[in-house]
Structure 1
Amino acid sequence: MREQRRRPTGRSRRAFLQAAGAAGLVGLTGCVGSGAERGGNDGTARDAPVSILAAGSLQNALSNGLEPAVDVPIQVETHGSATVARLIDEGKRDPDIVSVADVALFEKPLSPPWHAVFTSNAVVIAYNPDTKGGKRLAEAGAREWYKTMASDDVRIGRTDPDRDPLGYRTLFTLELASRYYDDASNLRRKLLKQDQIYPETALISRFESGSIDAAIAYRNMAVERDYDYIDLPDEVDLSNPEHEDEWYSTVSYSLPGGQTVHGGPISYGSTIRKTSDAARNVFAAHTTGDYLDEYGFLLRERFPTYEGDVPQRVKRATVQSGGNRPAGAQSMLGSAPGEPSSVVSGGRS
């Protein structure tokens, strides 16, 4: 079983990110190598920003990691992925690129003709070591975190399962942990309360305000803010494709619209909705960039992989931008292909 991880010495990244702000809508102007400009063949205006509507957990990576890799203006808006899907499905947003934290949302309600699976993640227990509750959690470590979190002395934060995949993956993790640990049972009932729910884009920032001691979060959310976190067993953290059949697929959650999402390895997906040279180049940098590793996401050798009828010009742009990552860039998870993260049944979210 993996133990808790320590944040890097100092808090320079956290200070930088605080200064950058935690707003969900971020306008960016940056520069990248291809020199491609929006416009030309498809009639779009030159220098118009490429818009990205994305999962909240991608916010800092896109705002502070992707920006140096592109030479056209980009505009990033982030929400929980289920909200992203609803905004597009209801006609309230029409971005050039959409990226979600669960590729199941590309089956319903979005149903694009193709998408790329480009990164993964893991569910961890992030905590603030400067609070009383956080110190107690640090002492409990990877073997007894669930006992400490069941105490009223530890204030827990999580996200809404009806709005984003992290919310329902939190429920999956607790159900799997109840099965994994011999002395744990019904952790969802013991740990979770309605007043623990915060927006995904503001969850970890609650540490700074002192509102919570611990958060059930994605690994990247703790890494990019230099917070300590406890690694969970592979059978529990939804990161390892080897445990999909026996563990992850045994849990599920029904979204308000009738869509049932089943557990699976975490897989982030992206697609281009409005094609242009600029969008293709931004998409290529977005889905192949090493910035994803720097911001705590998990990379596999074969990422990105594709589903559906992928345009050849998209494939060429991706190969030119980096193609499949070399073996040295893969994560501790090895070189498993980008498998779908969920199986969906029922109606629309």
Structure 2
Amino acid sequence: MHSRDGCAGSAPRGRRSVLAAAGGLTAGLVGTAGCLGETDSVRVLAAGSLAVALENGVGPAFEADSGLGYEGEYYGTNALLRLVEDGTKYPDVVIGADVDLLRERLYPDCAGWDVEFAANEVVIGYAAETEPGRRLADGEPWYEVFADADDGAIAISDPDLDPLGYRALLLFELAEREHGLEGFRDAMADEVHRVPDEPRLLAGVESGNSACAVAYANMATERDVAVRTLDDAYNFGDPGSADRYARASYTTESGHTVEGSPVIYTATVRRGTDDPDAGRAFVDYLLENDDLLVEHGLRVDDSLPRFHGEPPEAIEP
């Protein structure tokens, strides 16, 4: 078995100064910039779509109930897994928005188990005062509205950094198949505006920079935008449609091919972390207080949590 620098051991001493110097790598940080590495705190590296739920919900509640601090950073899942793999970041807990991607990238060197704890779905957030927004509000098929939109009017997150971004492209592919829209995916891939920072995706709709954005449902409920829901056939929110979602695929610029899959969030404690007890305590708290997730627009049904691998006794089901 080979070892990756970010998973084989603990973080090197003095990494706070290293992180402070690496300004470009902390662009996704929400909250305590440069603080990963504080004592008596849990360090969490999570999917950007969970930023508000963790910063405003789970994190403060965990601090109040546990006496430990909470320090979070948020990126697209593909980007954050790369940061863990190459040793740029040393979190206690890693949370991704694509179950298969996390297992492919972190097992076995960086993780030996994970737990699926919440679900989401893809929606369209839009500005009602724009022409595409008015048409969506009138109930016109969303794919016809998108096909007629000006270049850059539709925003998606970066598919090479973030599962939400490639799910947007897979959404276009599934709609193309469902409705016989020849060339729809390729046309949309050329015309959309790609936003590198997932938490800012819907901010562009609010500010008027974009008419619409393909987002997760919980992100839309947290912003002042109108929402168009999508059919289960292509919203990535129905576990029963997993086989249908998997018919579409995307290959990232690094050559990694991903298939469509339901939006499920999964968490693990990184192997080699400085404080595994803090990591386990946070994951256990996450599972025991799923109402905090539901309050922020996520779904937690009776099928969750689901464990994979061999979780530690502290958080076994």
Aligned to 1:303: 304
1:73 aligns with 2:69: yes
Between the aligned residues of both structures, percent identity stands at 36
Q: Which has the higher helix share?
A: 2
Residue 255 (structure 1) aligned to one of 241, 252, 256: 252
Deviation, structure 1 residue 218: 1.0
Letter in 2 for 1:201: P
SS at match of 1:158: strand
Conserved 8 A contact 2:269-2:276: no
1:49 aligns with 2:41: yes
Deviation, structure 1 residue 23: 6.2
Aligned to 2:97: 101
In 2, the alpha carbon distance for the partners of 1:99 and 1:177 equals 29
Conserved 8 A contact 2:120-2:237: yes
- 78-87 vs 104-113, which moves further: 104-113
Within a 5 Å distance, the mapping from 1:161-200 to structure 2 comes to: 161-181=159-179, 184-193=181-190, 196-198=193-195, 199-200=197-198
Q: Scaled by the length of structure 1, what TM-score is found?
A: 0.73
SS at match of 1:250: coil
Letter in 1 for 2:130: T
In 1, the alpha carbon distance for the partners of 2:97 and 2:193 equals 21
1:238 aligns with 2:243: no
Deviation, structure 1 residue 196: 0.2
Q: Scaled by the length of structure 2, what TM-score is found?
A: 0.80
Structure 2 spans left out of the alignment, 5+ residues:
1-26
1:138 aligns with 2:137: yes
1:289-315: CA deviations, max 9, x gaps?
212112111222131110001111122
Deviation, structure 1 residue 193: 2.8
Conserved 8 A contact 2:126-2:226: yes
Q: How many residues align?
A: 275
In 2, the alpha carbon distance for the partners of 1:23 and 1:179 equals 35
Conserved 8 A contact 1:116-1:306: yes
1:194–1:131: structure 2 CA closer, same or farther, 3 Å change rule? closer
Aligned to 2:286: 286
Conserved 8 A contact 2:154-2:192: no
Aligned to 1:312: 313
1:24–1:222: structure 2 CA closer, same or farther, 3 Å change rule? same
Structure 1 spans left out of the alignment, 5+ residues:
1-21, 29-43, 320-349
Letter in 2 for 1:166: L
SS at match of 2:134: helix
In 1, the alpha carbon distance for the partners of 2:127 and 2:285 equals 33
Aligned to 1:211: 209
In 2, the alpha carbon distance for the partners of 1:207 and 1:310 equals 41
In 1, the alpha carbon distance for the partners of 2:86 and 2:276 equals 24
Residue 267 (structure 2) aligned to one of 258, 266, 270: 270
SS at match of 1:237: coil
In 1, the alpha carbon distance for the partners of 2:186 and 2:252 equals 19
Conserved 8 A contact 1:24-1:56: no
